[in-house]
Amino acid sequence: MRKQGVNSKPLQSSRPSQPKRRRGASPSREPEVEEEVGRSTLCGGNLPRGARRSSPRRIRNLKARKGLELEVMANTFLLGPFQFVHNFLAQLREKVHELQARRFSSRTTLGIAVFVAILHWLHLVTLFENDRHFSHLSSLEREMTFRTEMGLYYSYFKTIIEAPSFLEGLWMIMNDRLTEYPLVINTVKRFHLYPEVVIASWYRTFMGIMNLFGLETKTCWNVTRIEPLNEVQSCEGLGDPACFYVGVIFILNGLMMGLFFMYGAYLSGTQLGGVITVLCFFFNHGEATRVMWTPPLRESFSYPFLVLQMYILTLILRTSSNDRRPFIALCLSNVAFMLPWQFAQFILFTQIASLFPMYVVGYIEPSKFQKIIYVNMISVILSFILMFGNSMYLSSYYSSSLLMTWAIILKRNEILKLGVSKLNFWLIQGSAWWFGTIILKFLTSKILGVSDHIRLSDLIAARILRYTDFDTLIYTCAPEFDFMEKATPLRYTKTLLLPVVLVVFIAIVRKVISDMWGVLAKQQTHVRKHQFDHGELVYHALQLLAYTALGILIMRLKLFLTPHMCVMASLICSRQLFGWLFCKVHPGAVVFAILAAMSIQGSANLQTQWNIVGEFSNLPQEELIEWIKYSTKPDAVFAGAMPTMASVKLSALRPIVNHPHYEDAGLRARTKIVYSMYSRKAAEEVKRELIKLKVNYYILEESWCVRRSKPGCSMPEIWDVEDPANAGKTPLCNLLVKDSKPHFTTVFQNSVYKVLEVVKE
């Protein structure tokens, strides 16, 4: 197995090297010309004589050649008794030097990886601090920066660290009554809260150790704010829960950049490839991640483990070792990727969809592919168990594709007995896989009763089929779930990321076409094994197509496309693809020329990020939270817009009936009732439904009556799709803004929020 960062040696002739001898010319014999041994055939040089395609000279007598070899060896031992020992020591010395060079190269790779990891961590911390001035915010302001679902996730971390013990805190979030009052739900199972559980345990351990030794964990001071804001206390240091929580996320994503360097170096076969991957990521940072703006999102915890998983998969595809350790690592990285994020399963489905055609045509050995499928099955089972029997894992496209792949592998020999052509054999397997996966997914969803849950696949289907209803519009009207911006490909082009990736992709496609044509035309079948090497390159090309489709359909999924393009860009310095070029031009010159051109726009992009300077302030919401904390009972139940409800639960610790985690069918039904306040229904009808949910207060936001991200996306317009019978009437929210009586009573109001108390009948 080739070490990372070590350039592969030129391919040598398969003929063993022989001692060279000059023989004098004679009238009956041509003078022998010395061979140029060891020159790589990839560089376009002459092949060694033993491997030439044709020659006008007669073929030498093999017996005479062997006799010559024996004569030379005999002379060597007779004329120099110690020559054998000398040669052995020389070879041993060369091996030692080679091992030292590899060890040095591995250390260099690891050292550079650590450096870029620290660099990315500093970059993330700087951007986050510049944007919000987080270090000078009060505890309440820091919590308010975690809007929408971010605040919901952070609230469970807060619950565990404030509980009398870790186990009591864990029990509280596994038997939660505040999130969907009056229901009791296991939030770890519903919201994939393993990251919060782990970080909370680290925080409690850290604080326990520091308190044991009497060490300070944070520094606090009073911050004077602009009138009419009051002076607040602000604390900085790992002892502050919000700083600790965000710090762990940034460290994890800093380490991810070091992993990207090692990934690019291994895939391309040179450390220059790792440099290209890292710099492409930095130059396109705004398109590659949003962790610096939204740290608590599930992708911030999950995506680094996908990078690790793909790195390990690349290693498995490239090597022919029977070592079990890479497969165990693949299983663990799969689980670590799936546990924090509900969308992870669909991403792994695209991976299986990329690997299956490679298996069908012969880019993966059947035994190796079978092991990969078994590892993925074990990963699903482990995730299902760790998530307390969450049936979403068993009813996904990912699980269905694994079962269909396993079935096709078992029936492969029976399909072969049909006697069809090679092309038809491929098509039969591909069609069976696609249709079988879709049918099996539909059946398992019905059997397990999760067909009503919204998943990433449902949103993609709605995009393709142009299907709209209330639930899909709630998603697709959000900017992050819209189509990819038209300016995005242009931004990729300006940094040369797109042109470089296209060159690499075309080179891989040419290789695949050549391989396929050789098989389908039944030409040179004896070289098939050689032609079907480098399956890891084909996998990355197919995965690029999948990520491109996802990124175009849903803008949020650019976080998969852009980093993968950065990894693919590393292949521009791969000798496997461009060895013919590097024999004419030094690879370093090509790479640095590309990086110099990339840096023109890339440095401008970085400067734009560094120039973002702001300070978080949300006085209307701060007033609302303070009023709720001091003017309502602890058991008062609230309803309202999903982002606001997350803040109410986090900072005011009041029960809520709806929240931003919209995938669950029951929660969607509750949210539809709550959002009927922005419909054109009658006030009495809306109040009746709110009373059924045991709502005491409704937080009305006038801006939700009028705002829309694009045509057809205001709340009244969305309700016109769901409730066409009332279309044309005045929205209820507009009426309640003017006068909330007689069905509601206004108890608090500021420039943004109006709190309505539900009048009980």
- pLDDT per residue as tens digits for the range 217-261: 988 888 777 776 777 788 889 999 999 999 999 999 999 999 999
**Per-residue pLDDT, 532:** 64
**Per-residue pLDDT, 317:** 94
Of the residues 590, 610, 630, the one at which a domain ends: 610
Do residues 575 and 671 share a domain?
A: no
**Per-residue pLDDT, 589:** 85
Assess whether pLDDT exceeds 50 at residue 37: no
Strand-pair category, 638-640 with 697-701: parallel
What single DSSP character describes residue 650?
Answer: I
**Per-residue pLDDT, 498:** 96
Give how many domains the chain has, as a whole number: 3
Q: Is residue 714 part of a domain?
A: yes
Q: Is residue 256 part of a domain?
A: yes
Q: Is residue 281 part of a domain?
A: yes
Of the residues 576, 610, 644, the one at which a domain ends: 610
Do residues 681 and 538 share a domain?
A: no
The overall average pLDDT reported for the chain is 84
Confidence tier at 425 by pLDDT (50, 70, 90) = confident
From CA 436, how far away is CA 698, in angstroms rounded?
47
Do residues 298 and 420 share a domain?
A: yes
Q: Is residue 667 part of a domain?
A: yes
Assess whether pLDDT exceeds 90 at residue 30: no
Higher pLDDT residue, 295 or 9? 295
Instruction: Let me know if 225 is exposed, middle or buried by CB neighbors in 10 A (0-12, 13-18, 19+).
Output: middle
Query: What is the phi-psi region of residue 24: left when phi exceeds 0, alpha when psi lies from -120 to 50, beta otherwise?
Result: beta
Assess whether pLDDT exceeds 50 at residue 6: no
**Per-residue pLDDT, 454:** 63
Identify the CA nearest to 154 among candidates 647, 662, 668, 699: 647
**Per-residue pLDDT, 58:** 42
**Per-residue pLDDT, 98:** 54
Assess whether pLDDT exceeds 60 at residue 46: no
pLDDT, tens digit, for every residue of 676-702? 999 999 999 999 999 999 999 999 998
**Per-residue pLDDT, 71:** 52
Do residues 356 and 260 share a domain?
A: yes
Q: Is residue 478 part of a domain?
A: yes
For 142, what's the count of Cα atoms within 13 Å in the CB-facing half-sphere? 26
**Per-residue pLDDT, 418:** 77
Domain span at 480: 245-610
Do residues 653 and 691 share a domain?
A: yes
Q: Is residue 476 part of a domain?
A: yes
Of the residues 580, 610, 640, the one at which a domain ends: 610
Confidence tier at 506 by pLDDT (50, 70, 90) = very high
Q: Is residue 559 part of a domain?
A: yes
Mean pLDDT of 542-557: 93
Mean pLDDT of 736-741: 88
Confidence tier at 456 by pLDDT (50, 70, 90) = low
Do residues 450 and 503 share a domain?
A: yes
Mean pLDDT of 70-85: 50
Higher pLDDT residue, 478 or 559? 559
- The distance between the two most distant Cα atoms of the chain, rounded to a whole number of Å, is 123
What is the CATH number for 729?
3.40.50
Mean pLDDT of 366-381: 95
Q: Per-residue b/e over 289-319, b at no fewer than 16 CB within 10 Å?
A: bbbbebbbbbbbbbbbbbbbbbbbbbbbbbe
Do residues 599 and 645 share a domain?
A: no
Do residues 416 and 311 share a domain?
A: yes
Lowest pLDDT segment from 352-356, 440-444, 511-515, 543-547: 511-515
Do residues 267 and 388 share a domain?
A: yes
Confidence tier at 44 by pLDDT (50, 70, 90) = very low
**Per-residue pLDDT, 92:** 53
Identify the CA nearest to 110 among candidates 293, 262, 221: 262
Do residues 687 and 661 share a domain?
A: yes
Q: Is residue 429 part of a domain?
A: yes
**Per-residue pLDDT, 65:** 52
Do residues 442 and 570 share a domain?
A: yes
From CA 62, how far away is CA 68, in angstroms rounded?
10
Confidence tier at 88 by pLDDT (50, 70, 90) = low
Residue type, 595: L
Do residues 479 and 554 share a domain?
A: yes
Confidence tier at 31 by pLDDT (50, 70, 90) = very low
Q: What percent of the chain has pLDDT over 70?
A: 83
Mean pLDDT of 183-212: 95
Strand-pair category, 753-758 with 744-749: antiparallel
